[in-house]
Structure 1
Amino acid sequence: MKKLFFTIFSLTLFISCNTDPKSSNSSVNDVKSMDSVNYISQRHLQNQRFENYNFKTEEQWDSLRTISHKKVLHKKGKVHPDIRTFGWHIYSNGSTYKNYNFSMLWGLSYFSYALQPETGSYKTIHQWKTTSLIDSAKTKGCKVFFSVSNFGKKNNTIFLRNQKARQTLIDSLSSLLALRSADGINIDFEGVSKKDKEHFTKFIIEISKNLKQDNPNYMISLCLYAIDWNDIFDIGVIDPYIDFYTLMGYDYYGSFSKTTGPVTPLKKSKKFGNGLETSVNYYKNKGVHFNKLIVGLPYYGAEWYTKKPEIGAVATRFKSHPKYQSIKELYIDSLKIPVQFDPKSASSYIIIKDSNKVYRQLFFEDVKSLSIKYNWIKSNRIGGVGIWALGYDDGYPELWDLLTEKFSQEQNAP
């Protein structure tokens, strides 16, 4: 990104992924980059970066983020009926949706209803009531969801243990969904304490029952952590109330990491620890059926300063989470830095030499790495693929075109 994400303190607790459900705690030490004290997701970072901007219009966000609306042409196609392609539109991405290929999206979620934990009302819903995004999506048959987010152990404890606040949230969402004729919600609660697991489970059941009572067609979806340190998802209990899950299949390495590494390694390795495959198998063993799972992948990277050029080196300092557009525009197109590829993690990366003793390492997803991960999702008959976040590639068509190549009904006819 052109601006750096702020470094902040937070607590998002996860439990390790393991393919053996009988030993779900045994692989915690395999997660080299993550730890329960320092971990913070890119979603949380982006929220901290922009939460104090009280903008009233998308044009203000466009100005802040220097969104140019450079028009791009997309390959024609319509998403295959058996695949759920899903993306999140972040309020701070303004009107980048004018370049979205809605025909290739099964659904999208507007991010977000920022929860006021003490009351259940919202701190802000940004442009939910006015954005043309929703109308544009519906015209192309794309379902529209509303994300509801709450970050941090303290905020989640305050909210989850307050029945009145929970009911206020449910009532508020009911009105806001009806206002825009939306299709449902996507719950993103990060940092839930193990002590609040039962409260979290109860809340999920409550909100699902209440919203479906308002409209039986509403769909309730839940964000799953890549590494669920605290085992807070009681899948066996909540599964009847969840229509689909969205796995946050990223942030295996990030601002919290002591060494450099891929944002989304595909397979477990000695160098980079657990990866996407481990996470998916963990939730499969917990009871998540693949036809209800959407695997989210990042359209952003992670960049660190190091003293050595070798990948996996000790990071001296985290730099930023640049979006795909910025990586293409600055490093690849302008500076002509060659893109390298790590086959073990199926991830692309760039090495930049700043001086004799200072390097920068940037890991990210591109057509090559995403193609491998999309093929893996298809071969395992997983329900769909998610994009965090839509608009991070604004001005470049190749990631949309790859989505068409892999998931359109025209390209994937029997």
Structure 2
Amino acid sequence: MKKAKGKLGFIKKLFHHSDSAKLARKFIHQHHKELKEKQSPTFVTDTDTVKLKDIVFKTKKNFQLGYEVFGWYPYWEKDYYKYLNYNLLSTIAYFSYEVDPKTGNAITTHDWDTTPIVDSIKAYPDKKILLTVSNFGEKNNRKFLKNTTAVNQLVENLIQLLEKRKGNGVCIDFEGVAKSQKEEYTSFLLTLSNKLKKANKDYLVYITLPSVNWSEALDFNSINQTVDKFVIMGYDYYGKTSSVAGPVSPLNSDKTWEPYNLTTSVDYYLENKIPNNKLLLALPTYGSLWETKTQSLQSKVKNYIGSRTFSYIKKNIEGNEQIYIEPISKSAYSSFSIKGDKNQFRQCWFENDSSFVYKTKLIKDKKLAGLGIWALGYDKGYDDIWNVISSEMAVESENSDEKEQDSVKNAGSIFSKIVNTLGLKDPNSKINTVEEKLVSITDYKNVLLYTMSFALFFACVGFVWAMFSPNTRAGFFNNTSLKGYYIGLMLLLAIVIFRILDAIDDFIVMLIIGFLLGVLAFYIANGIVERKKKELP
């Protein structure tokens, strides 16, 4: 812990005047809320013009997440719940219960009592719905945390709201807690957790973590056992107060960018003994747009134009301008001049599907609990990010074994060429369906399942066909050993197939194997006894 604090202090000393220090006083969740309510031109979502897809992004039938995927659902995304593929989400945090710091009561809960997103995700027993609890700024947090009555009132309100909607817990989003409030903040989290879990032992407590812990207001040792999951807000490393345009969510910095990035943020919290299996890294589905002095990287800013959602960037910038991946930060950007004015420049920095892959690799390399998203709905109408989640956050991801994937794809490609050469390519043909299935097989379990299923199927077909012959029937049914070998082989194949499909568990498998071994032992023992009898005078 001392090492981590010392490193942060050293960086602070060097960059006390930096963009990052200024950004520490700006809270992106509050910022987006205020701009959205004011319908400010500095926060453009393009929700009126983007056409939502008629079909929700689909996953494979047996798709299963290997990591937690956590997403904030802002209250202003009214009907986006209709377009979510819930298979790609583990946890949704509804944003938000806004705390009145004087009383602990809600300034507003933004329709928590009625929002359909709760009912939608509760239809999936393995998914969780949380209520985000927000309080922003040192003044508001100081006022609330020192007021025991307000703290108790908030906790009682939350228990009632969770009970009413059958929620799974809360996500505490208190940003701007001062170092002087460390003890009060710790006491609040302990009180909240104890009372929630007393009301329902399964209630969960998540809290947000700043990308850079400037205030050092977190007592990690005290809250580690109290908090179920920690969510790093891995965005706005560059933003409204930046003097140069740069990556909103950089993977690394080197000497090019400010010394704060996703890697240093994750390492800092791991060094402070937060277990990696309790740590989530949240990434942005929005970007920042600047008017810059030049088109070059690290250009000085003339004016901050505003935040732009992924859907806006996809439609209005990516569709018209060249997109690059900056090699150090691994973030997407576009640098361009305004049409009709070659001396007026723009830079937009954001995350797309290519940059997301690098960030999800960090999550996997550090063995974190999973991925967070601010915010659901910012990418409506586009499935780029969901494609990455479906491939990178899955159990045995399609990219987990490149050699196997390449060999299967090559097999699919060869098969496709043969089909095309024979002129059999038809959208309705069975051969085309087989081709698609072949290309979709990417892991050894599926390969084993398909192989054994084919073997079992053709063995059964061959057996039935052979039984049409009287000689074969007589030979088969009069030979006890042959019958035993055949039935045993078929049972073995069936057991493996059913186990891969999770139709039976390991206990049932052991019972069946034990039974078969018992039958085999009886058969062998009986044969030995019969031979001994024949040898007697």
* 2:108 paired with 1:107: no
TM-score by length of 2: 0.69
Distance of aligned partners of 1:323 and 1:250 in 2 relative to their CA distance in 1, 3 Å threshold: same
Q: In structure 1, what is the equivalent of residue 35 of structure 2?
A: 49
Choose 63-72 or 343-352, whichever is displaced more: 63-72
Q: Distance in 2 between matches of 1:170 and 1:325?
A: 37
Distance of aligned partners of 1:165 and 1:94 in 2 relative to their CA distance in 1, 3 Å threshold: same
- How far residue 30 of structure 1 moved from its aligned partner, in angstroms, is 4.7
One-letter identity of the residue aligned with 1:159: F
Equivalences for residues 391-402 of structure 1 within 5 A: 391-402=377-388
Q: Distance in 2 between matches of 1:131 and 1:52?
A: 22
- How far residue 64 of structure 1 moved from its aligned partner, in angstroms, is 8.2
* 2:220 paired with 1:224: no
One-letter identity of the residue aligned with 1:185: V
Matched residue SS, 2:232:
strand
Equivalences for residues 243-262 of structure 1 within 5 A: 243-262=228-247
Distance of aligned partners of 1:79 and 1:279 in 2 relative to their CA distance in 1, 3 Å threshold: farther
Q: In structure 2, what is the equivalent of residue 356 of structure 1?
A: 342
Of 359, 377, 389, 2:363 maps to 377
The structure whose Rg is larger is 2
Distance of aligned partners of 1:410 and 1:100 in 2 relative to their CA distance in 1, 3 Å threshold: farther
Is contact 1:113–1:122 with CA below 8 Å preserved after alignment? yes
- How far residue 307 of structure 1 moved from its aligned partner, in angstroms, is 1.0
Of 340, 343, 349, 2:324 maps to 340
Q: Distance in 2 between matches of 1:328 and 1:92?
A: 20
* 2:140 paired with 1:155: yes
Matched residue SS, 2:268:
helix
- How far residue 384 of structure 1 moved from its aligned partner, in angstroms, is 0.3
Of 277, 280, 286, 2:272 maps to 286
Structure 2: which 5+ runs fail to align? 40-44, 399-442, 445-537
Q: Distance in 1 between matches of 2:242 and 2:46?
A: 32
Equivalences for residues 172-191 of structure 1 within 5 A: 172-191=157-176
- How far residue 139 of structure 1 moved from its aligned partner, in angstroms, is 1.6
One-letter identity of the residue aligned with 1:130: T
Q: In structure 2, what is the equivalent of residue 9 of structure 1?
A: none
Q: Distance in 2 between matches of 1:367 and 1:66?
A: 22
Q: Distance in 1 between matches of 2:375 and 2:46?
A: 19
Q: In structure 1, what is the equivalent of residue 155 of structure 2?
A: 170
Of 58, 62, 71, 1:75 maps to 58
- How far residue 164 of structure 1 moved from its aligned partner, in angstroms, is 0.6
Deviations, residues 224-263 of structure 1 (Å, cap 9, x unaligned): 0001111011111111100010110111011111111100
- How far residue 382 of structure 1 moved from its aligned partner, in angstroms, is 0.9
Q: In structure 2, what is the equivalent of residue 304 of structure 1?
A: 290
Deviations, residues 164-201 of structure 1 (Å, cap 9, x unaligned): 11111001000001111111100001111111111111
Q: In structure 2, what is the equivalent of residue 13 of structure 1?
A: none
Equivalences for residues 28-67 of structure 1 within 5 A: 28=12, 29-30=14-15, 32-36=18-22, 39-50=25-36
- How far residue 52 of structure 1 moved from its aligned partner, in angstroms, is 7.2
Q: Distance in 1 between matches of 2:92 and 2:56?
A: 20
Of 195, 205, 213, 2:198 maps to 213
One-letter identity of the residue aligned with 2:265: S
More strand by share: 1
Matched residue SS, 1:223:
strand
* 2:223 paired with 1:238: yes
Is contact 2:292–2:345 with CA below 8 Å preserved after alignment? yes
Of structures 1 and 2, the one scoring higher in RCO (CA 8 A, sep 6+) is 1
Equivalences for residues 133-152 of structure 1 within 5 A: 133-140=117-124, 141-152=126-137
Q: Distance in 1 between matches of 2:369 and 2:166?
A: 25
Is contact 1:264–1:347 with CA below 8 Å preserved after alignment? yes
Choose 72-81 or 124-133, whichever is displaced more: 72-81
Matched residue SS, 1:256:
coil
Matched residue SS, 2:364:
helix
Matched residue SS, 2:321:
coil
Matched residue SS, 1:212:
helix
Q: Distance in 2 between matches of 1:306 and 1:297?
A: 25
Q: In structure 2, what is the equivalent of residue 193 of structure 1?
A: 178
Q: Distance in 2 between matches of 1:226 and 1:315?
A: 23
Distance of aligned partners of 1:45 and 1:37 in 2 relative to their CA distance in 1, 3 Å threshold: closer
* 2:81 paired with 1:97: yes
Distance of aligned partners of 1:284 and 1:88 in 2 relative to their CA distance in 1, 3 Å threshold: same
Q: Distance in 2 between matches of 1:178 and 1:352?
A: 52
Q: In structure 1, what is the equivalent of residue 115 of structure 2?
A: 131
One-letter identity of the residue aligned with 2:233: M
One-letter identity of the residue aligned with 1:370: F
Matched residue SS, 2:236:
coil
Q: Distance in 2 between matches of 1:121 and 1:68?
A: 39
Q: In structure 2, what is the equivalent of residue 7 of structure 1?
A: none
- How far residue 347 of structure 1 moved from its aligned partner, in angstroms, is 0.4
Superposed CA RMSD in Å reads: 2.3
One-letter identity of the residue aligned with 1:399: I
Structure 1: which 5+ runs fail to align? 1-16, 54-61
TM-score by length of 1: 0.88
- How far residue 19 of structure 1 moved from its aligned partner, in angstroms, is 6.9
Q: In structure 1, what is the equivalent of residue 519 of structure 2?
A: none
Is contact 1:76–1:404 with CA below 8 Å preserved after alignment? yes
Q: Distance in 2 between matches of 1:67 and 1:19?
A: 48
Calculate percent identity across the aligned residue pairs. Answer: 32
Matched residue SS, 1:301:
strand
Matched residue SS, 2:57:
coil
More helix by share: 2
Q: In structure 2, what is the equivalent of residue 313 of structure 1?
A: 299
One-letter identity of the residue aligned with 2:144: F
| Count of aligned pairs between the two proteins | 388
